[in-house]
Structure 1
C-alpha cells in the first residue's frame, strides 16, 4: 500500500541534499565551536557561515540570528525574556496562538503578575485589528504583542505590516511566530521591522531539534539559558553544529525554490478544494483556509458534513496521513482550541474537521487518493438508511 503524507504543517520530510550536507558535517566537522584549536575553529566557521546565509536572506544582521532547538524554544525565550529583562508588564495575544505562546503568556500572567489581554478574533479566526488598536491605546504599560503570522491549523494570514505599525505607534514590542511562514514566503525582516520572530527547520524540509530566533539588536534581550555564553550570550550550551548546517541548507533551498514550490503547492490546494466540492455535498472549509489570497498556501482545513471521531484512523488504514488538529494535540479526543473558537457548538457536534497540509513532494495523485477515501467515508454517513 502506497503511503501518502499530507501533514506537512506538523513536520516535513528532509530533503536528500540536507541529509547529505549534515552527514558530511558529522563526518568531518566534529569539533566544539567554543574550542580555540583548529577543530573548534572549523566548526565555528561552519556555524557562522550558516548564520550569515540566513541573515542575508532575511536582510538582517547575523548578530540578530540566535540558534535554538526549535520554534517553541525561540518563542519561550522571546516572551519570557521580554518580561524578565525588558520590563514588559502587559502581553497582548489571541486565543488562536500556538500552545507555546498561549501557555507561556498565561504563565507570565500567573507567575510574574503580567496582564494578559486577548484580542478579539472574528468567526473566521482573523484578528480584529481595530480591537488591537483599542487595547494598545488603553494603557501606557510596557507591552509585548505576540501574534502568529499564519495560523498552523486554519492557515489565516496576519497583516504583519499593519500590526507592526500599530505597535510602533503605541511603543509596543512585536513578536510574531513565523514558524509556518519563514521559508514559504519572501520575507525582509528589516522592512517589516518586527522586533522578534521564530523559525523551525523541520517545517521547511530540514532536521528536527534546530531553529532560530530573530531578535532585533536594539531590543537588548537577555538569555533564559545561561552558562557558557554561546550564541553571543543569548543561549548557552554547546551548539548543534550539524543541525545548524542542515537548517541553513534547508533554508537556502526553500528560498531558492520558493516561487516554483509555491506555484506547485497552490495548484494542489486549489485542486483539492475543487475536487472536494465536486465530490462531497455540504463540505466546507474552516477559517480562511480556502481563500488562496488570505491563507497559508500549504494548509487547508476541511469541515466534513458529518461526525466521525475515527476519521484519522480510517484514513491511516488507507495509507493517508492527515491531522485532526495541530500536531501537539492530535492525540486528544476533543477538537482543538482553535476549531472550538471559530465553530458553533452545533457545528462541533455535527461536523468533522481535518487539516490537510501540502509540500513540494505531494502530487495530484495523492489528492485523488485522499478525495476518493473521503468520498467513500462520506457516503456511509450521508446516504439515507
Structure 2
C-alpha cells in the first residue's frame, strides 16, 4: 500500500482552519491598533476583542464578562490555582486534585506546597482513570478551599463525573476548578449546568491559533491576578492583548459550537472503528481509559513486549503521526504518570500509543493505520525474547 500522511495527534495540537486564519489576517496588518487606545484605531480592535469573548462564552454557556483571555491553557490553569489559593488563603490552605492531572496543574500544586505552605491531596483513580467520589468526600478538610479535577484526560481520554464533583464542592462551600483544555470543543461543556467555578481552555486544541487560551471565572469568585502591569482584562490579566490570536480563538469557538454535534458523531464513529480494529487484530493489547466514557477522538493502547518509542518511529516512517502521551512530556524517558496511576506496570506503560482523531481524519486514514500497525507491532515483538517465550507456551 502506498505511503500516505496520516495525522492522529490532535490531542497535542490541531491544524488551524482556513476560516480562522482568514479572520485573523486583518489584525496583523490594517487593523493594528491597541485595544486600550481610545481613538478609532483602538476602538475597532476593542470591538473585535469583545466579539471573540462573546463567542468563547457561547461555546461553554458562560456570561461574556466571565471570560478572561490568557496565553494558553497552561497559564489559565496556573492562574486559576495560584490566583484562587492566594486570594483565599485566610480561609484555608488545603487543595484537592488527582494523580492524573496535566502537569500544568500538578506542577502548580507542587509549587504551592513547596514554596507557600499549602497542603495538597492527590486523589487516586480507578483502572479506567475515574476519580473515586467517596475518596474525594473523605479527603475534604475544614481547611480545603479548592478542588481541581480535569474534565477529560489528555492521555487516556476518560471523562470525569464533573457535575457530581462540583456538587460535592458546593455542599462544602469549596471552589471547583477544572482543566477543560481537551474537553471544550470536543464534548458539550455547559458551565452553568455543571456549576463550575473556574475552567481553563486553549485555542490550539479546537483548530485555532497557538499562544492563546482563556480562563472562565464564575461571577463572584475571588481571584488574585497572575500577571501584573496593566489594566487589561478588567485589571485581572495585564499585558497588551494578542488581538489576532484572540480573534482566531473566537472564530474557532464559533465553528466548534456550530459543528459540535457532527464533530462528536464523526469522531466517535472513527474512534470505534479504530479501537475495535486494533483490539481485534493485535493480541496482548490493552485499551487504556474508559471504554465508552471517553473523548470522541481518543484511543490509547498499551502493547505488551514492545517499546513505545520504537513504535512511534516505525509509524512515522509510514507517515502516521501518533504519540506516547502528553506532548508536554514527550522528551521524558519516564513512563506516563497517568498510565502508572491507572495501575499499569512500567513495562506495559512504556509500550503505549495514543492515537487522537480530528476533523480532517477519514475512514481511509483509519484503514491505513489498521493495515500497518499490526505489522509494525508484530515486527517489533519478534525482537523480544520475552514475546518469543510467551508465544511458545512459556509463562
If the TM-score is normalised by the length of the shorter chain, which range does it land in? Answer: over 0.9
Q: CA deviation at 1:347?
A: 5.0
Q: Partners in 2 of 1:46 and 1:338 — Cα distance?
A: 39
Alignment of 1:37-116 (within 5 A): 37-87=39-89, 88-116=92-120
Q: TM-score, normalised by structure 1?
A: 0.95
Q: What is residue 178 of structure 1 aligned with on the other side?
A: 180
Matched, 1:340 2:344: no
**How do residues 187-226 of structure 1 correspond to structure 2 at under 5 angstroms?**
187-226=189-228
1:208 shift after superposition: 0.1
Aligned residue number for residue 385 of structure 2? none
Alpha-carbon distance, 1:60 to partner = 2.2
Give how far 1:158 is off. 0.6
Give the secondary structure class of the aligned counterpart of 2:216.
strand
Q: 2:314, 2:35 → 1: CA distance?
A: 48
- Residue 361 of structure 1 deviates from its aligned partner by 0.6
1:346, 1:28 → 2: CA distance? 54
Q: Is the 8 A contact 2:302 2:348 kept in 1?
A: no
Q: Which runs of 5+ in 1 are unaligned?
A: none
Q: Counterparts in 2 of 1:155-304, with a 5 A limit?
A: 155-288=157-290, 291-292=291-292, 294-304=293-303
CA contact (8 A) 2:146 2:174 kept: yes
Is 1:329 the counterpart of 2:323? The answer is no
Match of residue 319 from structure 1: 319
The equivalent residue for 2:378 is 379
Equivalent pair of 1:124/1:287 in contact (CA under 8 Å)? yes
Secondary structure of the corresponding residue to residue 158 of structure 2: coil
2:368 match? 369
| Mapped partners of 1:281, 1:188: distance in 2 | 40
Structure 1 CA distance, aligned partners of 2:334 and 2:118?
30
Q: Which stretch shifts more, 175-184 or 21-30?
A: 21-30
Structure-2 separation of matches of 1:278 and 1:122: 25
Contact 1:184 1:255 in 2 (8 A): no
Give the CA RMSD over aligned residues.
1.6
Matches of 2:105 and 2:379, distance apart in 1: 40
The structure-2 alpha-carbon separation of the partners of 1:4 and 1:116, relative to structure 1 and needing over 3 Å to count, comes to: same
4+ runs deviating over 4 angstroms? 381-385
Farther-moved stretch of structure 1 (52-61 vs 361-370): 52-61
- 1:352 — aligned with what? 351
**1:329-368 deviation digits (Å, cap 9, x = unpaired):** 122223211112223437537x711000000110111112
Deviation at 1:9, TM superposition (A): 0.3
Change in CA separation of 1:129 and 1:374 when aligned onto 2, cut-off 3 Å:
same
Q: 1:82 deviation in Å?
A: 1.1
- C-alpha separation in 1, matches of 2:118 and 2:365: 47
- The farther-off stretch of 252-261 and 297-306 is 297-306
Contact 1:196–1:216 (Cα < 8 Å) also in 2: yes
Contact 2:49 2:243 in 1 (8 A): yes
